[in-house]
Amino acid sequence: METLRYKLIAMFASIIIAIAVLAFVSRKAEKRARAISVGELGKINILLDNQIHMPISFWGSSTTLVHVSPRVVDSITGSSSFNFGLDGTLFQQYSGFLKSYSEKAEPSLIVIGLNITDFHPRSQIYHPQFYTYAVSEPNVKNALSSIDPSLTWKMDMVPLYSLTLFDAEYYANLNNSGKEHSFLKGNKGYEPQYRTGFKDSEKFDYDSIEIHRPFVDDLIRKVKEVKTSGHRVVIFISPMYFKAFDHIKNMNEFNVLLDEIRLEGVPIINLFQSPLSKQKKLFYNYLHMNAAGAELFSAELSHELLPYLE
């Protein structure tokens, strides 16, 4: 290298060039990501842009996402519905979106799907890369902060930090996004799964239900907040393949918990042990139903919801 001065220039130039390239990529990625109207990112965009308000909205994790077909619900209830289920999230993670939605939407029926995993302690945000643009929304930020305050702070405050969360698949997702149908034309947020059959010997991850008390209190408090905005709230429990119960040692604790939530004035439709739970062909693993199961379950749930629509 020629002189010391040039050496220093080279080092700073490389940093500046890198920052410029990264800022450009970040801007491009954000633009593309915000234009997406399908998948997890598309759903978050819809929520951020306040695009959809329905008389019935379904909230939850993967069990809501793959179990509730708005088409079936619409046909039975005569109302319009949308499935806001987000894969891998606990109530704690999506509750920020729910709060924002309830503040902006006309009074409606909000249906929250829970499963045995919802009260497990968790210290990591699931798929944080999908929340990088949403974190500036105060309700979302508060919800994410309750899971991982340090990551949430960095996502919100550190410039270009979001790029460290994106992986090659995320960029591939951005590239593929235009090739699918948008939510508004398609399944209205529902993602049917066409897989069938799993072995009874397949590993079931939950041998006991861990109930983290702060999550329960948070759920009750937030449901009450949503109700104060004029919405009616119902909680439903999805069916689980019945052999899963053999693995769970403390099922009774979960039932006690549900009673406790009911006493707080939140109605619960418990379909845990619905007759559908006995039919293995309707599941693709212990917790999740396939498309055939989801059709039947959506019908069953819709009938249960009718009294709350009157």
Residue (41 or 269) nearer to other proteins, CB: 41
Phi and psi at residue 145, to the nearest 5°: -60, -35
Binding-residue total with other proteins (CB under 8 A): 34
Q: How many other β-carbons are positioned within 10 Å of the β-carbon of residue 192?
A: 16
Q: Which of 106, 167, 207, 260 binds other proteins (CB under 8 A)?
A: 167
Q: Which of 51, 175, 250, 255 binds other proteins (CB under 8 A)?
A: 175
Which residues inside 96-125 make contact with other proteins, applying CB under 8 A? none
Closest CB to other proteins among 164 and 250? 164
Which of 31-39, 43-51, 173-181, 190-198 is the region at the interface with other proteins (rule: CB under 8 A)? 173-181
204 lines the binding site for other proteins (CB under 8 A): no
Q: Which residues contact 162 (CB under 8 A, 6 or more apart)?
A: 26, 129, 132, 133, 155
34, 55, 126, 161: which one contacts other proteins (CB under 8 A)? 161
Q: For residue 89, what are the CA distances in angstroms to 57, 69, 296?
A: 17, 19, 24
Question: Which 11-70 residues touch other proteins, going by CB under 8 A?
Answer: 11, 13-15, 17-18, 21-22, 25
CB of 271 to other proteins, least distance (A): 31
Long-range Cβ contacts of 174-182 (<8 Å, 24+ apart): 174/29, 174/32, 174/33, 174/36, 177/32, 177/35, 177/36, 177/37, 177/38, 177/39, 177/41, 177/42, 180/38, 180/39, 181/38, 182/37, 182/38, 182/42
Place of tokens 């842009």: 49
Residue 107 CB, nearest distance to other proteins (Å)? 40
Chain residues that interact with other proteins, rule: CB under 8 A: 1-2, 4-11, 13-15, 17-18, 21-22, 25, 154, 158, 160-161, 163-169, 171-172, 175-176, 179
